[in-house]
Amino acid sequence: MVGETSDSRGRPSSTTPGTTEEPPSTADLVVIGAGVVGAAAAWFSALAGLRVVVVDRGAVAGGTSGAGEGNVLVSDKEPGPELELAQYSRQVWGEDLGAYGGLWEFESKGGLVVASTPTALDALRTLAERQRALGVDVQEVPGAELHALEPRLTREAAGGALYPQDAQVQPMLAAAHLLRLARRRGAVVRTRTEVVGFLRPGGGRPGDGHAGSPVTGVRTPHGTISAPAVLNAAGTWAGAVAGLAGVELPVLPRRGFVLVTEPLPPATVRHKVYAADYVDAVASSDAELQASPVVEGTGGGTVLIGSTRERVGFDRRPSPPPYGRWPGAPSGCSRCWRRCGRCGCTRASGRTAPTICRSSAPTRAPPDCGTPAATRARASVSRRGRGS
């Protein structure tokens, strides 16, 4: 939800824009989706003087932007269009949006990629060299010096690479504040407003012979909005939205889990620390469960531990197999996980164990797992170094 005001930590208040009100009937641009992409598009378009209307069928950042780690990484990009986009994105977050960075916990903390074996280190060096040639700032770190950068890291790693340009934002805050800023420039945000079709000259529903005619607006249950431009920023659902216009857009969902600890002492983990094989897992189009060790602190003090990726459609239910593949997770870890009685999500057991539950409901620790979060995070980084 977007608020006009912020609390003392820069978080938007709970005041919300009209949710089911009739949207304006015209705009220069309709943005479908109030995630971080739609919010950024709304802000820059409003800044350019366009009359913008943002519609989302749910809440602000209620989609994937409410689940991501918020990394703005150049380190995990192979040379090519994705790296170019990442470099541009880094510049936008750091410069164009730099004055607002405090609102969304922008942190230029750097990424530390760790190679556990000489072979992995060779591959990392090769990638780093290619990235460096394209302007990426990357510094090789000998194995013996890694722990000076990250004291809880294993001392057994072969070496690593430091990417000072890697940064992080809190994506939910970023989406909410970008929309708040856009509203100050006249943008209108309508949540709980689903786009159910497009306006097209002559009717324009798929199959009625007008599917090739230009889109001139959107239909919602609360009214239509005419606009010469419509941006499909529906993220994972962009394919379904495109389908409303008779366009096939192969966007597929991929489920990932990230553990979020309770806030830990400052600098418990200083960088985004991840294993060299993370790049392959991120880039993989494999449907099978991918897991690679990633540990990082956040501006809010929580430590994020991950991560997994798997093609299971839109199924968001937690399941034990990914947990068993977690860095730092003991084998048979599923017994250490239990359902949160309050919201039904799964959280790690233990008094201060990592959790993906955002409720404050305390859980009882099963007898076999009481690892404190700090210890578990440390174990994760160490295991990364051993390549497990």
Ligand X SMILES: Cc1cc2nc3c(=O)[nH]c(=O)nc-3n(C[C@H](O)[C@H](O)[C@H](O)COP(=O)(O)OP(=O)(O)OC[C@H]3O[C@@H](n4cnc5c(N)ncnc54)[C@H](O)[C@@H]3O)c2cc1C
Binding site for ligand X (CB under 6 A): 32-38, 55-58, 62-65, 67-71, 171, 194-195, 233-237, 241, 256, 258
Residue 16 beta carbon to ligand X: minimum distance, rounded to whole angstroms:
15
Q: What is the largest CA-CA distance in the chain?
A: 69
Q: Which is nearer to ligand X, 62 or 217 (CB)?
A: 62
Cis peptide before 307 (omega within 30 of 0): yes
The sign of the dihedral angle between the CA atoms of 372, 111, 235, 176 is positive
The sign of the dihedral angle between the CA atoms of 282, 283, 285, 288 is negative
Residue 364 beta carbon to ligand X: minimum distance, rounded to whole angstroms:
27
Residue 68 beta carbon to ligand X: minimum distance, rounded to whole angstroms:
3
In angstroms, the CA 61 to CA 76 distance is 24
Q: Which is nearer to ligand X, 41 or 121 (CB)?
A: 41
Q: Which is nearer to ligand X, 67 or 229 (CB)?
A: 67
CB 161 within 8 A of CB 150: no
Q: Which is nearer to ligand X, 154 or 193 (CB)?
A: 193
Residue 60 beta carbon to ligand X: minimum distance, rounded to whole angstroms:
7
| Residue 127 DSSP one-character state | H
Beta strands in 80-228 (DSSP E): 111-115, 139-142, 159-163, 167-168, 188-190, 197-199, 217-220, 223-226
Residue 205 beta carbon to ligand X: minimum distance, rounded to whole angstroms:
15
Token representation of residue 158: 């072969």
Picking from 54, 364, 355, the residue whose alpha carbon sits closest to that of residue 234 is 54
Q: Which is nearer to ligand X, 55 or 333 (CB)?
A: 55
Residue 109 beta carbon to ligand X: minimum distance, rounded to whole angstroms:
13
| Residue 276 DSSP one-character state | T
Token representation of residue 203: 């009717």
At residue 315, what is the residue type?
D
Q: Which is nearer to ligand X, 37 or 115 (CB)?
A: 37
Residue 38 beta carbon to ligand X: minimum distance, rounded to whole angstroms:
5
Token representation of residue 111: 């990424």
Number of H helices, E strands in the chain: 9, 18
CB 196 within 8 A of CB 225: no
Q: Which is nearer to ligand X, 34 or 158 (CB)?
A: 34
Report in angstroms the alpha-carbon separations of 64 from 126, 256, 281: 33, 10, 18
Residue 84 beta carbon to ligand X: minimum distance, rounded to whole angstroms:
15
CA 157 to chain centroid: 28
Q: Which is nearer to ligand X, 171 or 297 (CB)?
A: 171
DSSP H helical ranges for 26-142:
36-47, 81-91, 118-132
Q: Which is nearer to ligand X, 158 or 348 (CB)?
A: 348
Residue 143 beta carbon to ligand X: minimum distance, rounded to whole angstroms:
26
